Structure 1
């Protein structure tokens, strides 16, 4: 049977790339190939509709194996990531009880967020009571000013418990640049502080104590290549300055943890993690780190390959989370979790779907945990290392992401390094500009947030479920001297629009006056219903009317404030003036589409049109103003 199959396939002549493209162009019937099928990403490169074996010829990254330098395919020979859940610690006894419960529910990595005033030996002992530090990854986040003290407390605690510190693993999240990026406050003595943290960290050999919080860029709306490029520059700043201060490169590199966000751009995110490991390995290798012990990853000349391994924690994005139709956040975070785990991360936090508007409850936290456990226990994502290896598409995306991220990295280095770029505000301004472009894409539906700017549930109300959170302990209100990242989510302006409609106590009605060509009126009424529902208006669809007069009277009987004429372009020249005259100013009149007769209709006073080129957000803001909704 196998021989027959081989003979069958051998009878087909090979098809060239040019032949494939000719066939596609023929099927496009005159449409431009590049405009129709080539995806021009915001990341700075184009993605083509098909790739072939010839597109990966000569790529060196396809030759390495998992666990081998430059670690494109992963830093280890398996894909078993840590399932992390974070706990904001208010009561240490209660947090301990919850942590112990989580360890019985599939979690094997705990993230404790502790207020600076609560960092003391007694509290840490109460927090870790009954938890095996050699079995569970323990991660801690507190104010930078308490990082050294916390590390000493942990080391003393482990020694007192008789634990083997060489088997204890986790992190203390010392982030020297967060205040600059988030608070707008310069940190001039960051090198001295980082040196003290590294010194203290020697007591915890397997703890990562220097953080590259690239998730800040992701949550501020950066493009994927920006997140990666700036993360590499951030990590290199730590390597360069701390090695100059007297630490060995391998010691510094092995103490850095990269915390990345994950967007819903599925394939590009897989490529990002692959490209990130590759580029970081090359950066570290350029410092020629010397191996301090016998290791199978050492080169004959003593260079340390282990130091070049990027340690990655990933967290699902907040930028694309929504308050309205919040359960759709589950779809987004599941896609994000899939791309991160397929991309080969070391640990993962899936944020609960209600994270952005309330303190997550037991249900939402359980669902978030189970999203990861499903990928392990049912989909077996942990059983295959780098399943995308050899894919023409993803291998090319990996190279494209790497190229653009590397350009950003080099630009930052040419300007004096990451600290200098942040101090000058260049990093913040570049990411805020990218976020503004993405928000403009959301406003015009070129980037879709399901349930917000497309297919919204207009019957939902959300004001009552939004809980206010307390202020942070780091002095957010202190005077800013630097530009800061803007963390407004992509959906925020749409949500503000809907909340203003909701809080006004009014429920405007948008009535679909469907008439004429059946296919066109149905398509345009569906489009228009989705359009006006984005502002929380009640939409009233119809099967069709025999005359525009009958449609107008039905709209008035329904109490409509907006009447949308839905028909075909050819029929608008006759129907639109009739409907406009019959309405006689009793409601806002809108034509769905962009007919060729638009200018003639405008000359007759019909000046409101909605179509696929409309800025949905700005158009709806204008309608809110016309309807006196503030």
Structure 2
């Protein structure tokens, strides 16, 4: 059998890159290779349609080993990440009961969000009662003014319980810069609070307390290279400012934790985490820490994005978060939080939280993604993506350093402006369907209604009771689907659901394609759509539309046949309903001159078009 296999493979002669390109060029039949097959990413670099072993030549990434400096291939020699769930604490007894329950259901990393005013020793004792701290990672978020107090309480509690401090893993989410980015205010003293926090947590060597919450950039719509580049500058700022007051670089770096978002760009996200570890190790090395290998080891938590979550067709969110979690798991992060699918419109319930947990358990227990370290290693494609993203992120990092560092850049608003501009561009791409959100701007569920579901709103630092006075520009956290959702909710709450009737006629293939396109287009606004098999005359189609009480009649045919059908259809309709032509025929100017105003096609701005229709139809 072995001989047969050997002969099988020997039957195939090697094919050179030149031969591949000759075949590609022939198949393109004169079309431009760059325009047709080369992908121009949002990250600023190009991706070829195929990669070969020769594309690895000169890349040092293939020399790296798992768990070894510079940590490109992971910070561990295994791939067993921790499964985290967030708990917002209103009552410590209830939070403790919930924590104990989910710890028996696969969770091994807990994250508690605690109100600063409630914090004291008894509160923590109640919250952590019967939780064996050596067996689970414990992460805490609280008011930034109370982080040092929290550290002192935790150290005292763990000492009282006689835990082995070298076995305790976790974090306190202190992040001076994230508050500026989200709330627009500079609160507290970064250097003094960080110094006091590091001193307070000193008995717990594995606790990270200086956080880089790049998840905020991700949730604001940042491109992958932006999230990574700014995150590196963010972490570097901690080291720069604290080494200036005499703290050792090694001590500081070992207390920094990176919290990244994960977008749906599957392969680029894998590459992002690989590049992040490599670049961070290089940055830390520049400070010449005493313990380079320990200091340069990035600890990275990953959380699925909220930017691309949707209110309509919300179960599609499960597919988005699943591929996102896969990216992070394959990339070798330390822990992952999967955002429950219903977070966009309500506080996640027990069912959605269970699904979120099980998404990771499936990756571990059934897909065995924890059994192989960095399976992307050696991939011609991903190794090149890793280097490309690293280069783009590094350019952003250097630009921030030229501006005086991350603090200066945030203070000046350049970080926020860059991210918000990206968010604006992505919203425009979504409006034009250049970026697709299934169930929202493409292939919506025709019969779905929101009912009582409304987009969840975040309260600001003042609890939403008064307008915050911003000292610096803030990030815009409007989700990608937000404008389409507002449009569809406007239709639903108006009580006037417009009916769109497909007047299909002429060329069978084209009329079917145009009808399908138009149905999906108009259903994005929540309109009722009525497709048809076809009519022999436009007059017959118009009368059928009127009998169906249509508010919109869409002519669906081929571009060539619109010269024959469009104007007669407009005359037959005689203003009794809105008239739309599906397509962009060559004689569009002629049709417009005859009084036809509405055309929908692949170049249309779907959002703006539907807003205009709503303004007319929902009067």
Instruction: Give TM class, smaller chain.
Output: over 0.9
Report what 2:556 is aligned to: 566
Q: Secondary structure at the match of 1:513?
A: strand
* Structure 1 ranges of 4+ moved more than 4 A: 467-470, 472-476
Match of 1:402 among 383, 386, 390: 390
- The answer on 1:617 being equivalent to 2:618 is no
Query: Deviation digits for residues 248-290 of structure 1, max 9, x if unmatched?
Result: 1111111111000000000000000000001001111121110
Contact 1:177 1:187 in 2 (8 A): no
Match of 1:365 among 339, 353, 356: 353
More deviation, 90-99/458-467: 458-467
CA distance in 1, matches of 2:338, 2:456: 22
- The answer on 1:417 being equivalent to 2:405 is yes
Query: Deviation digits for residues 152-211 of structure 1, max 9, x if unmatched?
Result: 000011111111111111000001112210111134731122111111121221111010
Report what 1:153 is aligned to: 153
CA distance in 2, matches of 1:470, 1:537: 29
Query: Deviation digits for residues 533-572 of structure 1, max 9, x if unmatched?
Result: 0000000000111111110001111111111100111111
In structure 2, relative to structure 1, the CA distance for the partners of 1:467 and 1:15 (3 Å cut) is: closer
Report what 2:341 is aligned to: 353
CA distance in 1, matches of 2:451, 2:275: 42
CA distance in 1, matches of 2:426, 2:38: 19
CA distance in 1, matches of 2:461, 2:403: 33
More deviation, 489-498/23-32: 23-32
Q: How does 1:377-392 map to 2 (within 5 A)?
A: 377-392=365-380
CA distance in 2, matches of 1:618, 1:469: 24
Report the aligned-residue RMSD: 1.3
Contact 2:344 2:456 in 1 (8 A): no
- The answer on 1:323 being equivalent to 2:304 is no
Cα shift at 1:472: 5.3
Contact 1:511 1:541 in 2 (8 A): yes
Cα shift at 1:11: 4.8
Q: How does 1:452-463 map to 2 (within 5 A)?
A: 452-463=440-451
CA distance in 1, matches of 2:59, 2:430: 36
- The answer on 1:314 being equivalent to 2:313 is no
Contact 1:165 1:205 in 2 (8 A): yes
Report what 2:110 is aligned to: 110
CA distance in 1, matches of 2:246, 2:382: 40
- The answer on 1:589 being equivalent to 2:579 is yes
Contact 2:344 2:455 in 1 (8 A): no
CA distance in 2, matches of 1:4, 1:542: 57
Query: Deviation digits for residues 21-49 of structure 1, max 9, x if unmatched?
Result: 22112112222111111111111111111
CA distance in 1, matches of 2:234, 2:187: 14
In structure 2, relative to structure 1, the CA distance for the partners of 1:475 and 1:203 (3 Å cut) is: farther
Contact 1:116 1:473 in 2 (8 A): no
In structure 2, relative to structure 1, the CA distance for the partners of 1:468 and 1:64 (3 Å cut) is: closer
CA distance in 2, matches of 1:15, 1:443: 43
Query: Deviation digits for residues 296-338 of structure 1, max 9, x if unmatched?
Result: xxxxxxxx21111110000000000000111110010001000
- The answer on 1:62 being equivalent to 2:62 is yes
Report what 1:132 is aligned to: 132
Q: How does 1:23-34 map to 2 (within 5 A)?
A: 23-34=23-34
CA distance in 2, matches of 1:475, 1:592: 47
Query: Deviation digits for residues 19-78 of structure 1, max 9, x if unmatched?
Result: 212211211222211111111111111111101111111110111110111111101100
Match of 1:437 among 404, 417, 425: 425
CA distance in 1, matches of 2:459, 2:406: 28
Contact 2:273 2:333 in 1 (8 A): yes
Contact 1:358 1:469 in 2 (8 A): no
CA distance in 1, matches of 2:379, 2:458: 47
Query: Deviation digits for residues 428-477 of structure 1, max 9, x if unmatched?
Result: 00000001111111001111101000111132221512376674555663
Match of 1:551 among 538, 541, 544: 541
Contact 1:73 1:385 in 2 (8 A): yes
Contact 1:84 1:108 in 2 (8 A): yes
Q: Secondary structure at the match of 2:86?
A: strand
In structure 2, relative to structure 1, the CA distance for the partners of 1:474 and 1:306 (3 Å cut) is: farther
Report what 1:182 is aligned to: 182
Contact 1:115 1:473 in 2 (8 A): no
Cα shift at 1:600: 1.4
Unaligned 5+ residue runs, structure 2?
Answer: none
CA distance in 2, matches of 1:608, 1:473: 45
CA distance in 2, matches of 1:601, 1:471: 50
In structure 2, relative to structure 1, the CA distance for the partners of 1:472 and 1:436 (3 Å cut) is: closer
CA distance in 2, matches of 1:332, 1:189: 39
Query: Deviation digits for residues 374-395 of structure 1, max 9, x if unmatched?
Result: 0000000000000111110100
CA distance in 2, matches of 1:398, 1:159: 43
- The answer on 1:483 being equivalent to 2:473 is yes
CA distance in 2, matches of 1:585, 1:27: 49
CA distance in 2, matches of 1:404, 1:480: 31
Q: Secondary structure at the match of 1:381?
A: coil
CA distance in 1, matches of 2:128, 2:64: 41
CA distance in 1, matches of 2:516, 2:226: 37
CA distance in 2, matches of 1:467, 1:619: 23
Q: Secondary structure at the match of 1:530?
A: helix
Q: Secondary structure at the match of 1:117?
A: helix
CA distance in 2, matches of 1:566, 1:487: 39
CA distance in 2, matches of 1:178, 1:37: 39
Cα shift at 1:8: 4.6
Match of 1:506 among 470, 476, 496: 496
Report what 1:297 is aligned to: none
Report what 1:273 is aligned to: 273
Report what 2:529 is aligned to: 539
- The answer on 1:579 being equivalent to 2:563 is no
Q: Secondary structure at the match of 1:15?
A: coil
